[in-house]
A and B are shown apart, each in its own frame.
Chain A
Amino acid sequence: MSTDPLIGRLTAELQPVRRQSPRRAALILAVLCVTEIIVLLSLGWMRPDMPRAMGMPSFWWKTASLTVIMMIGATTTLRSLNPIRSPRPGLRALGYVVLAALAAGWMIDAAQVGPIVLWRRLDPVHGLRCARKIIELSLPVALALGVLVRRGASVDPRGTAWAAGSAAAAWGALAFVMACPFDDPLYVAVWYSLGCGVVSLVTRLALPLLTRW
């Protein structure tokens, strides 16, 4: 079967295109994140004891961990929109960072003194609310990444979806850090992981279906 008719049709349809740019995509994401933060601050989302919280190691632990996860996830996603780039190295790095973050959280937790009942520390009622808010806050970035991935040409849609989900989830959690009054590493490790895990998993399942090419 000759491909000449197809080539003729595609040539006739040819229009100039704007070349894909990871920097432009990163800028779009950055603007979206800043906008979301401004909206949240204007709604009075900041925790009232922020100055005190900023003196605690656990606050910086969760902020730094989520920032690194978000940056690696977003970079991996945007790089993998080029078909010659694989998201796998970035995903491996993400796995190591998550493990390192949990280990760091454990060390900070071990330094705390005083016996506290595990169930009380976990506080499931607030924990589930936190997880739900993380999911809600991650939606704008998840949608933006979905649009970018759909326009790109990832040759590993599942890997790219994991990276995008991780980035969106980490962003949702990072935005929530401003409002969350809980600093117990155990609480953060359990409920933040739950919220981030749901976002990552749903993105991993849905994005490859929506971005087939």
Chain B
Amino acid sequence: MAAAQNGDADAYRHVLGEASAWLRRYFQRRLPPSMVDDAVQDTLLAVHEKRHTFDPAQGFAPWIAAIARYKWIDRLRAMRRVDMTSLDDELPVMDHENAVTAAHALERLLTLLKPAQAEVIRLVKLQGFSIEEAARRTGQSAALVKVNIHRGLGRLSDVVMRGADVD
């Protein structure tokens, strides 16, 4: 990366390739599969845009890990604003390992929330139920479901920001 800061294109291509593979593994363990590609690309763009902040004395790994974590928190916040639609019952899938790991990681984070918040996030954001369905299942009003999702995801972002990780 230090060479890339001086304009060495070959070194830059190499470091971005390595970073891309690492970021893919990083986000596969933390995000739903549908968000991984966007997160990797977004982080690579951030690496490019902020490459002048890299300090060779401090090493590349902590630097890119800090940027990846920032982008992960960004994605968690974005989940608050995105309506997820339910999926068909039968979808062809190739490999469940990363999805299971990501779901496990999110489950661990959800234990840090109030039960009412965790339950509606699990139903709407992870299992794909609509707001109305989640309201019927939990006995909460639709408005309260939305509030609990919003506050719960906000709390998750804050928890991650303050240092909790899922490794």
Known: A16-B5, A17-B51, A152-B53. A83 touches B66 (CB 8 A): yes
* Any A CB within 8 A of the CB of B52: yes
Chain B residues with Cβ below 8 Å from A151 are 52
B62–A84 touching, CB < 8 Å: yes
Give residues 21-47 of B contacting A (CB, 8 Å).
37, 40-41, 44-46
Partner of B41, one of A6, A11, A16, A156: A6
Nearest A residue to B50 via CB reads A153
* Any B CB within 8 A of the CB of A14: yes
Alpha-carbon gap, A155 to B142, bound state (A): 34
Alpha-carbon gap, A153 to B52, bound state (A): 9
Alpha-carbon gap, A14 to B48, bound state (A): 8
Q: Count how many chain A residues have C-beta atoms less than 8 Å from C-beta atoms of the other chain.
A: 26
| B25 shortest CB reach to chain A, Å | 13
Alpha-carbon gap, A71 to B131, bound state (A): 49
A8-38 contact mask (Cβ, 8 Å, vs B): 1 or 0: 1011111111111000000000000000000
B16–A11 touching, CB < 8 Å: yes
Alpha-carbon gap, A20 to B56, bound state (A): 11
A and B contact pairs by CB, cutoff 8 A, 14 listed: A6-B41, A7-B17, A7-B44, A12-B9, A14-B12, A16-B5, A18-B52, A19-B54, A82-B53, A82-B58, A83-B70, A151-B52, A153-B46, A155-B70
